């Protein structure tokens, strides 16, 4: 938390977050269909898709250490986005597996640590993180939405739309979403997702140099503690409440990634086969309802934390997943209920993941705060995603597919039970002290 009396640079921090998540949101949603179109085998596709979670794990042990102890965060941010931006830009100009994979790996290795670094920069320049972080982090949600919706209209067969002679704006939008590009045309257009991501990354590299100076942090006591910031962060797992939160974060990340692995298929599967029966071109807009709801939730996060405290807020966030998968499992034929329940995404993210980031800022020593954020990103973006990417396809295709039809009811009971157990574990075993213990720093940590 900044100790100056100056006003927090919320506008700059908001734009930093918007660009940060615009980059990720530009290439991720469409890569699942793009890789097969390039002729990559399933194993090659998995290697490319797992570059991100693997980078999250590697970043925990190396790059976050540099960000904490070696460089001013804004300069590290500029370097990472310059090199990483050139790498993801290159993905738009190659169709060969090895160059594509190496470029994606370089991008992810440099991009993933910046998620923690942007949090660190934001917290260091806010007067009241508990009140302001939700509003600043909302920029990331806005950036993700801005990246997703334009491509919905870029990948349109405009010749077919014009031939339909739509009358009025509503008909025009309907015709556009009903006539996507396909085949070689779609393949050629998809490369722009990587080009746009690369340009945004380079733009953020330049913008990073205008951010408030945030000096690299030194150990609280000279010569004391571990030389490796990530090792000091790992050692804090000896505190039971930190360990409990870390393990619950893993479960919640797994459940969170179950949503992304399965929801698109569930929405697009015909009702006669147990799905919702939503037209393919409307799947992305329906799922984006969650990001819109996330914006609204971020507005009330600060007030919710002060009212409910750490534990209750996080439990509500986890139970949001349970409620969503309960609707999936028990009323799959109600398209209205399925669409409406997407609004819980905001509660699932803000009330748990964003709250975890705020908690880390309140409880962990200043000199290892970026690595402490990385410790939880290890679960959120790394191990949890790896588990989901490995288990979810197997569950859907081998365990819960009978005679060619997916048993969505049984499938969705898995994350429903997992999230419920995680919520109970948090309620029973997560009891942080009202103020940080010795070794956590001296700042107050209300709410508790």
Q: What is the CATH number of the domain that holds 282?
A: 1.20.1250.20
DSSP 278: -
Give the dihedral sign, CA 43/44/46/47. positive
164-178, 209-223, 364-378: the lowest-pLDDT one: 209-223
- 307 in a structural domain: yes
Q: Are residues 159 and 299 in the same domain?
A: no
CA neighbours closer than 13 Å in the CB half-sphere of residue 11: 2
Q: Given a cut of 60, is residue 244 above it in pLDDT?
A: yes
Q: Give mean pLDDT, residues 53-59.
A: 82
Q: Give mean pLDDT, residues 105-119.
A: 89
pLDDT of res. 289: 85
3-state secondary structure of 170: helix
- More confident position, 36 or 349: 349
3-state secondary structure of 156: strand
Q: Are residues 237 and 273 in the same domain?
A: yes
Q: Given a cut of 60, is residue 7 above it in pLDDT?
A: no
- 2 in a structural domain: no
pLDDT of res. 64: 53
DSSP 381: I
Q: Give mean pLDDT, residues 55-77.
A: 70
Which positions ≥6 away from 279 have C-beta within 8 Å? Answer: 177, 178
Cβ proximity of 87 and 48 under 8 Å: no
pLDDT band at 33 (very low <50, low <70, confident <90, very high): low
262-266, 365-369, 404-408: the lowest-pLDDT one: 365-369
Q: Are residues 327 and 398 in the same domain?
A: yes
pTM (2 decimals)? Answer: 0.74
**Domain finish residue from 216, 238, 262:** 216
Q: Are residues 92 and 210 in the same domain?
A: yes
Q: Are residues 202 and 283 in the same domain?
A: no
- More confident position, 334 or 295: 334
Give the strand pairing for 401-402 and 405-406.
antiparallel
pLDDT of res. 182: 65
DSSP 7: P
Q: Are residues 331 and 434 in the same domain?
A: yes
pLDDT of res. 439: 43
144-148, 154-158, 278-282: the lowest-pLDDT one: 278-282
- 221 in a structural domain: no
**Domain finish residue from 181, 216, 251:** 216
pLDDT of res. 445: 47
Residue 223 has a CB neighbour count (10 Å cut-off) of: 6
- 113 in a structural domain: yes
* Residue 118 bridge partners (DSSP): none
Q: Are residues 329 and 442 in the same domain?
A: yes
pLDDT of res. 5: 40
Q: Are residues 334 and 379 in the same domain?
A: yes
DSSP 368: G
Cβ proximity of 192 and 223 under 8 Å: no
Residue in 106, 102, 53 with CA at minimum distance from that of residue 389: 53
Q: Are residues 283 and 349 in the same domain?
A: yes
Number of domains into which the chain is organized: 2
> Alpha-carbon distance 173 to 171, whole Å?
5
Whether residue 16 is preceded by a cis peptide bond, meaning omega within 30 degrees of 0, is no
Q: Give mean pLDDT, residues 406-422.
A: 96
Q: Are residues 238 and 135 in the same domain?
A: no
Give the dihedral sign, CA 389/393/399/401. positive
DSSP 225: S
Q: Classify residue 277 by burial, with Cβ atoms within 10 Å: 0-12, 13-18, 19+.
A: middle
- 129 in a structural domain: yes
Which domain covers residue 393, as residue numbers? 227-448
Q: Are residues 126 and 31 in the same domain?
A: yes
**Domain finish residue from 184, 216, 248:** 216
224-238, 256-270, 430-444: the lowest-pLDDT one: 430-444
pLDDT band at 230 (very low <50, low <70, confident <90, very high): low
The tokens for 348 are 């699932």
* Residue 313 bridge partners (DSSP): none
Q: Given a cut of 90, is residue 365 above it in pLDDT?
A: no
Give the dihedral sign, CA 340/345/351/354. negative
> Alpha-carbon distance 14 to 20, whole Å?
10
CA neighbours closer than 13 Å in the CB half-sphere of residue 377: 31
- 310 in a structural domain: yes
């Amino acid at each position: 938390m900044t100790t100056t009396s100056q006003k927090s640079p919320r506008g700059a921090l908001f734009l930093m977050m918007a660009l940060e998540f615009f980059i990720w949101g530009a290439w991720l949603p469409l890569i699942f269909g793009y890789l097969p179109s390039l002729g990559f085998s399933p194993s090659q596709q998995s290697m490319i898709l797992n570059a991100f979670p693997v980078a999250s794990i590697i970043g925990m042990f190396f790059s976050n250490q540099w960000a904490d102890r070696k460089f001013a965060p804004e300069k590290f941010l500029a370097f990472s986005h310059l090199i990483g931006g050139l790498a993801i830009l290159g993905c738009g100009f190659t169709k060969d597996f090895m160059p594509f994979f190496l470029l994606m790996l370089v991008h992810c290795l440099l991009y993933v640590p910046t998620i923690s670094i942007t949090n660190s920069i934001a917290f260091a320049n806010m007067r009241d993180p508990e009140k302001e972080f939700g509003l600043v982090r909302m920029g990331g949600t806005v950036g993700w939405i801005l990246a997703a919706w334009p491509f919905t209209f870029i990948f349109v067969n405009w010749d077919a739309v014009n031939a339909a002679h739509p009358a009025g704006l509503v008909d025009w939008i309907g015709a556009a979403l009903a006539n996507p590009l396909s085949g070689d045309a779609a393949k050629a257009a998809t490369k722009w997702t990587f080009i746009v991501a690369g340009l945004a990354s380079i733009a953020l590299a330049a913008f990073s140099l205008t951010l408030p100076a945030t000096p690299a942090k030194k150990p609280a006591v000279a010569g004391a503690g571990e030389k490796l910031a990530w090792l000091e962060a790992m050692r804090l797992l000896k505190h039971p409440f930190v360990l409990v939160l870390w393990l619950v974060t893993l479960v919640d990340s797994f459940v969170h990634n179950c949503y992304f692995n399965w929801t698109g298929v569930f929405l697009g599967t015909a009702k006669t086969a147990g799905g919702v029966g939503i037209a393919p071109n409307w799947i992305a807009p329906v799922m984006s309802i969650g990001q819109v709801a996330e914006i609204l939730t971020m507005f009330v996060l600060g007030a919710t934390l002060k009212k409910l405290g750490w534990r209750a807020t996080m439990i509500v966030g986890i139970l949001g997943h349970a409620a969503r998968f309960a609707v999936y499992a028990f009323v799959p034929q109600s398209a209205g209920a399925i669409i409406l329940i997407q609004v819980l995404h905001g509660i699932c993210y803000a009330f748990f993941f964003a709250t975890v980031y705020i908690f880390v800022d309140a409880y962990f020593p200043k000199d290892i705060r970026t690595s402490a954020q990385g410790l939880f990103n290890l679960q959120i973006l790394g191990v949890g995603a790896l588990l989901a990417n490995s288990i979810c396809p197997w569950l859907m295709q081998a365990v819960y597919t009978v005679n060619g039809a997916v048993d969505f009811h049984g499938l969705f009971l898995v994350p429903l039970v997992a999230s419920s157990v995680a919520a109970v574990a948090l309620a029973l075993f997560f009891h942080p002290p009202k103020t940080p213990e010795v070794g956590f720093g001296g700042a107050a940590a209300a709410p508790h």
